[in-house]
Structure 1
Amino acid sequence: MSEKTLEAVNQPKRSSPRVEAYKAFWKRLRKNKAAVVGGFFILLFIVVSIVGPWLTTYDPTEVVVLNKLQPPSAEHWFGTDNFGRDIFTRIIHGMSLTLQVGFLSVGMGGSIGVVLGIVSGYYGGKIDTIIMRVMDVLLAFPGILLALAIVSVLGGSLTNVIIAVSIFSVPAFARIVRGSTLTVRKLEYIDAVRALGASDFRIIFKHILPNVMSPIIVQATLRIATAVLTASGLSFLGLGAQPPAPEWGAMLNDGRTYMTTAPHIILFPGIMIVLVVLAFNIFGDGLRDALDPKMNR
């Protein structure tokens, strides 16, 4: 066996650039302790939303008048509300509703916004002008007011809240993706791929979209926190999930009459909203730093 062959055999195999990029990303993410904590809580919330309802012993909607307004105890960890329902059970069941609103609304709004942003940035011209002016109109309204107007027209329900939050999430994704697309489309390899005869569809979804995923992921994570907060606010106003659904914003609305006599009714749902929003915000900030190597130089 020749020396060159021996060197080739003994030489360690190199990972692909994509694998190396993933390893570098995880290394930077692990260094951000706050992001790790936020990610841990997000995973915990997801697991609890799936497994929790099967482990609770009380019915989240059953009215037990004799048990109403009981303080936290060994029997009822978070106490009971004005209808005698176990608050801990309702919070566990409400977690799946909260995460459902966050993930579905951002998924729907993000998908539409990404497509509009890439098309606007790639083609430019009149298409870009029309799409961006529509986005400007949507951005002219504060998010909560736009969602409030949409739900007021469609009617109060959890489905309509998801639709409303999806609509006001579109402009943020569209603008971010458009800006990234304008940068990527000017690169030489895009011209080379186009010269080889690749279609616009292939260029957009095979070569441009993968290169603009970093800001999309970060924006989606941060947007989930906004979606949860908006959905809770709409439910608090009576325009979101309808009774007796154990949605946290609706629980705050039910308990505001008893703020002085039984503050535990609003304390625990409020704490859970804060924890979920904080976890997604912290994790989103960590993702932004980890996906942008310039932040670590």
Structure 2
Amino acid sequence: MSNPIGLQDGGLADPASTSGASEEPGGPVISKSPTQLAMGRLLKDKLTMISAAFVVFFVLLALTAPLAYHVFGWIDPLKSDQDLLNDFSLPAGKWGGISSDHWLGVEPGAGRDTLARVWYGTTFSLLIALSATIVAMVLGVVLGIVSGAAGGWVDAIIGRIIDLTLAFPQTLMLLALASTGMIMVRNYLHTPAGNVTAAVYVVIVLGAFGWTSIARIVRGQVLSMREFEFVHAAQMMGASKVRIYFREILPNLWAPILVTFTLMMPAFVSAEAALAYLNVGIGAPTPTLGNVLSDSISFADTAPVYFFVPACMIAAIVISFNLLGDGLRDALDPKGNR
């Protein structure tokens, strides 16, 4: 007669034999930290690793452009060559003037090398996005920690500041305060007039309006974290609030901060491009991906290569950073669904 409950030799069946798994008795048990587990999940995500490779590639492009320009002279984003244009000031030859000397063609109207301008423009665009992200992250993390840990009227005031910041239309504020804001930046920071002042102004305004999202994320994490044992232990030992906020709580927030950082960078790259189209920020002839794309819009029909090169570069940077941020979020939060 069959044994419906899995008895073997007068006893219960071995769970390992019924499940198909085997375990060697006395085998070593390897424990892994949460960081090691997250890295294991991250390395198994092929899409995230490909995105990370592209991010590294774009960062290397940004770092090597000044070296290639000032040291080796491989590229010159400011050199104009009218001989490369036809009588209509359009690139001579097919595909926007692509040749062995100009791999991505030349710029209509000025005859400047497109590869040089896009390569060097990547440096300025990523530098502006990185600076604005750092400003936004510092403001958001500090205010988020203080709001969540202090609570009470402090939390209420910071919450109203967040609501007030979100109520202002960022783009309209940038346009309306552009001239006045640049004068204030030049006077208070003693920056030279021109593109330096414009870049600093864009960084300050993007950071000042972009900190609210990370502040809300950090506040939500701190609200639950402030009830943990290590926080109560630090309070009982007489630790100051500054130490509790930034020596006890802050190190445990690196996961959401890292994810938000990778998602905020591409948002500011797109914002720089949009502001360049509105003539706010670094202007020509100094190249950024934003003003190169803005200049190419008028030649989208007659010289489509010049239009698609900066557009594809911006799209590739934004997609790579976004996919990397999504992969980090999934790796650091195994309970979330992709």
TM-score above 0.5, yes or no: yes
2:285 maps to 1:244: yes
2:43 maps to 1:30: yes
Change (3 A) 1:296 1:253: closer
Deviation at 1:210, TM superposition (A): 1.4
SS of aligned partner of 1:295: coil
Letter in 2 for 1:50: L
Deviation at 1:123, TM superposition (A): 0.9
Deviation at 1:253, TM superposition (A): 1.7
- CA-atom RMSD in angstroms: 2.2
**In the alignment, which residue of structure 2 is the partner of 1:77?**
103
**In the alignment, which residue of structure 1 is the partner of 2:305?**
264
2:320 maps to 1:279: yes
Distance 2:298 2:271 in 1: 22
Letter in 2 for 1:250: N
**In the alignment, which residue of structure 1 is the partner of 2:275?**
234
Letter in 2 for 1:166: G
Listed as ranges, the matches of 1:45-84 within 5 Å are 45-55=58-68, 57-68=74-85, 69-70=90-91, 71=96, 72-81=98-107, 82-84=109-111
Listed as ranges, the matches of 1:165-176 within 5 Å are 165-176=206-217
Deviation at 1:228, TM superposition (A): 0.5
Letter in 2 for 1:241: I
Letter in 2 for 1:77: W
Whether contact under 8 Å (2:269, 2:318) holds in the other structure is yes
Whether contact under 8 Å (2:65, 2:123) holds in the other structure is no
Q: Which has the larger radius of gyration?
A: 2
Change (3 A) 1:293 1:143: farther
CA-to-aligned-CA distance 1:152-183 (integer Å, 9 cap, x gap) = 64248222111111111111111111111111
Distance 1:90 1:217 in 2: 30
Distance 1:163 1:197 in 2: 37
Distance 2:297 2:177 in 1: 25
Distance 1:198 1:165 in 2: 35
2:234 maps to 1:193: yes
Given the alignment, which residue of 232, 243, 247 partners 1:202? 243
Letter in 1 for 2:46: K
Deviation at 1:145, TM superposition (A): 4.2
| Consecutive unaligned residues in structure 2, runs of 5 or more | 1-26, 183-194
Change (3 A) 1:153 1:220: farther
SS of aligned partner of 2:76: coil
Moved more, 121-130 or 61-70: 61-70
Whether contact under 8 Å (1:236, 1:251) holds in the other structure is no
Listed as ranges, the matches of 1:207-218 within 5 Å are 207-218=248-259
Letter in 1 for 2:100: A
2:122 maps to 1:92: no
With normalisation by structure 1, the TM-score equals 0.88
| Consecutive unaligned residues in structure 1, runs of 5 or more | 1-10
Distance 1:148 1:39 in 2: 34
CA-to-aligned-CA distance 1:55-79 (integer Å, 9 cap, x gap) = 4634201222222332222221111
Distance 1:159 1:291 in 2: 34
Distance 1:290 1:162 in 2: 30
CA-to-aligned-CA distance 1:80-109 (integer Å, 9 cap, x gap) = 112000000111111111110111110111
2:270 maps to 1:253: no
Change (3 A) 1:279 1:210: same
Deviation at 1:193, TM superposition (A): 2.0
Letter in 2 for 1:63: S
Distance 2:173 2:244 in 1: 34
**In the alignment, which residue of structure 1 is the partner of 2:130?**
103
CA-to-aligned-CA distance 1:219-263 (integer Å, 9 cap, x gap) = 111000101000111012111111111111111221222111111
Whether contact under 8 Å (2:123, 2:288) holds in the other structure is no
Moved more, 38-47 or 132-141: 132-141
SS of aligned partner of 2:58: helix
Q: Which has the higher helix share?
A: 1
